[in-house]
Structure 1
Amino acid sequence: MTTAAVPACRACGAALRDTFVDLGLSPVSNAFIPADRARTGEMFYPLHAQVCRACWLVQLEDVERAENLFPDDYVYFSSYSTSWLEHARRYVTAVSARFGLGPHSQVVEVASNDGYLLQYFVQAGVPCLGVEPTANTARAAREKGVPTREAFFGVATARQLLAEGCQADLLLGNNVLAHVPDINDFVGGMAVLLKPEGVITLEFPHLLRLMEGNQFDTIYHEHFSYLSLIALLPVFDRAGLRVFDVETLPTHGGSLRLYACHRPASHADTGAAGALVAREEAAGLRRVETYAAFDAKVRETKRALVEFLITQTRAGRRIAAYGAAAKGNTLLNYCGIRADFIDYVVDRNPVKQGMLLPGTRIPVLAPERIAETRPDYLLILPWNIKDEIIGQMAFIREWGGKFVVPIPRPEVIA
């Protein structure tokens, strides 16, 4: 009998022995099933997050190659969220003013998706380049006039771009840092591509807010890491980079925006990073007991949601869901919620319409189906944009329909 090898931390290489949360087996969250393959099987993988006692990075084991998690027919398009587009537009305005970006500058976005953000730099006349591994979203970006290179980003890609004469005044990545299996290679690539006085900005969900808000559904296989500043500072230091500012954002349930530069660059430290590290330490993010307590909170939310759905379906009430989001697929699969509870899910993205959710096989339909079937409850799966969705779907109140937000605990909104 052989003993399974102990996994190693993807950042520092230390042995991983401590569980953060174990969500059982789950399919890849964006591996939607075409309707004509409804009778075929699919792969389920462990969804087990662990914490490193050496550097405090929370992470999943690699269960699938990144190329298979982010295929050429990737179904996530950033531009289908109106609120996310507005967030991107405000960012472009603010960062351009702060760092004096203009026609003389070079902006590079890593994981630029469908050009949702860089389109605003194009409109402002600022030269830019997107680096995006998925072919269909890259094609959509080019249709917006956004130059896009199809590639996974790391040291090798950065060196190739540098050899071609591309070097960044602003190098940004929104909601990508958690998606990279080799975080040292990714951050190291940013150091290669950045000009001596250039600036990096990275946005990502904050682990502390995930824990405070019980946001376990943001754990899925495409997210390799769950990030605190405590865990990230050593990664940046190894790459010769310095975090000189950090902002807290409301996006995705609570995110951070880091500002980094080369260690000798002239950008002044605002003190915000040190203050945030102190806050994380006060919350217990350097104590393994803090992480171990999270699993019990997750189980209680699962029980509460399942109890609510059982009660309503036994009473004859019909339930639909809004948003075929990756986080929703984690929630539904972990809770064992399938078409016996949820009739269907609607989504604005036509690429997802007509597909089946991975694992649960709940059908994805166009939003117009809500008015046709008049469900009693609409379960909002992408709860991070619940205000946008409630505004779009306010008409369900005409027949007494109500909204349900599942995280941090099930809440009914009339």
Structure 2
Amino acid sequence: MSSTIPCRICAGPVQEFFDFGRQPLSDAFLPVDADFSQEFFFRLAVGVCGTCGMVQLTEEVPRDRMFHEDYPYFSSGSAYMREHFEGLAKRLLTTELSGGDPFVVELGCNDGVMLGTLADSGVRHLGVEPSASVAAVAAGKGVRVRTSFFEEATAREILAEDGQADVIYAANTLCHIPYMDSILAGVRALLKPTGVFVFEDPYLGDIVERTSFDQIYDEHFFFFTASSVREMAARNGLELVDVERLTVHGGEVRYTLAPAGQRQPSEAVAALVAEEKERKLSDLTTLRAFGENVLKIRDDLTALLTRLRAEGKSVVGYGATAKSATVTNLCGIGPELVPFVCDTTPAKQGRLTPGTHIPVRTPDAFSGDYPDYALLFAWNHAEEIMANEQEFRAAGGKWILYVPEVKVV
């Protein structure tokens, strides 16, 4: 393993600790008549910086390959997530956006699930979204959207048109972006001295604790901790002033950054940094142990599916998620083990999963003739899904989960 890869935050040495091997673009669902020889693959490996502690991918996928006009993910697809973002919007209305003529900018606003509530309240806003398909849905909700990638030049154009922002917000977006120096320079330029930059992303502490290795895929470049975010902020004229643990998407943290010296950091910041130090979260020993746990899940899951096939049991996938690409390709799970996967997203239906080419079907294929087992790729929505699929359980169906370990429920 090489330690010569420079960190994308501080240029320090990044030591690789796990290699997922050859992986496809996680959201590149293929037409059934696709030329598979043209499918894009890259080496998905992850490492940790010995200087600032930032965990990151060691190979960057060009952003235009991932986020484009046909991007198939819509944040409003989950009722739980709709409630999550509506709750945040209402909180911001009573806190950071309670002054005169407040202005909020969201990076990667997707289909406008958060900004829609603020737009309905008359708050001046702008969503910056590079994927035209989801941006169009946001615009249809009355959200003002700019279809582009956010970087320093974008921020300065917004500043010239709209003035400084009280809040800049991003959800499940910042971790996607390797060019963090340009992002944070843009945030500094666009943010009021009294403003805040709030973002929430998957938390490395939860990924390691739960061995939720499928959170690692092409679109997730950085895996944040309070410690690494504090370092990243300090190198860019900002300061980590608050953290909040979230249960969404299998465990996230909402980070609040402010211009350096403008706000007193909360006690929660010091507490989470201390917890991470005690857990040795950025140590190679800890991260390599995580890798060993990943390999155990891989072996256990493939053994279970192989046994069920030999017993003549029917198994289908539930949720053609982006993160399922990591699971199916690492484990070698194709149509011979899982004949199809059901998903509610029309843009994915009738296509094939990336890399392993499992057909994606509508939910009717699941409920029309229930299988013996359902492999739950969308495990982060397990409670919501299982509540909606009680008839499957009543018919004798069982769920296969693989986070934090392989089990049948």
* Partner residue in 1 for 2:171: 174
CA distance in 1 between partners of 2:52 and 2:366 (Å): 47
Query: 1:4-403 maps to which residues of 2 (within 5 A)?
Result: 6-16=4-14, 18-37=15-34, 40-101=37-98, 104-265=101-262, 267-403=263-399
Tell me the amino acid that sits aligned with residue 132 of structure 1: E
Distance between the aligned counterparts of 2:124 and 2:136, measured in 1?
Answer: 18
Unaligned runs of 5+ in 1: none
Whether the 8 Å CA contact 2:315–2:375 is kept in 1: the answer is yes
CA shift for structure 1 position 383: 0.8
Deviation of 1:338 after TM superposition, in Å, equals 0.5
**One-letter identity of the residue aligned with 1:287:** D
Which whole-Å CA distance do the structure 1 matches of 2:224 and 2:3 have between them? 25
Q: RMSD of the alignment, in Å?
A: 1.7
C-alpha displacement of 1:90:
0.9
Displacement of 1:38: 5.8
Counterpart CA distance in 1 for 2:325 and 2:311 is 25
SS of the aligned residue for 2:13 comes to coil
**Runs of 4+ in structure 1 over 6 Å off:** none
Q: What SS does structure 2 have at the residue aligned with 1:120?
A: helix
**TM-score when normalising by structure 2:** 0.96
CA–CA separation in structure 1 for the residues paired with 2:222 and 2:408: 31
TM-score (normalised: structure 1): 0.95
Q: Contact conserved, 1:103 with 1:126, CA < 8 A, in 2?
A: no
CA contact (8 A) 2:352 2:359 kept: yes
Residue deviations 1:338-364 (CA, integer Å, cap 9, x gap): 001112111111111111100010011
Alignment gaps of 5+ in structure 2: none
**Counterparts of 2:57 and 2:335, CA distance in 1:** 28
Task: Say if 1:187 and 1:235, in contact at 8 Å, map to a contact too.
Answer: no
Q: Deviations for 1:222-264, whole angstroms, at most 9, x for unmatched residues?
A: 1111111211112111221111111101111111001111123
What's the secondary structure of 2:6's corresponding residue? coil
Shifted more, 94-103 versus 273-282: the winner is: 94-103
Offset, 1:10? 0.6
CA shift for structure 1 position 190: 1.2
**Aligned-residue offset at 1:39:** 5.2
Cα distance in 2, alignment partners of residues 373 and 329 from structure 1 = 25
Distance 1:179 1:47, change over 3 A: same
The answer (yes or no) to whether the contact 2:45–2:59 under 8 Å persists in 1 is no
Q: CA deviation at 1:302?
A: 0.5
Distance 1:103 1:32, change over 3 A: farther
Contact 2:3-2:13 within 8 A present in 1 as well: no
SS in 2 for 1:388: helix
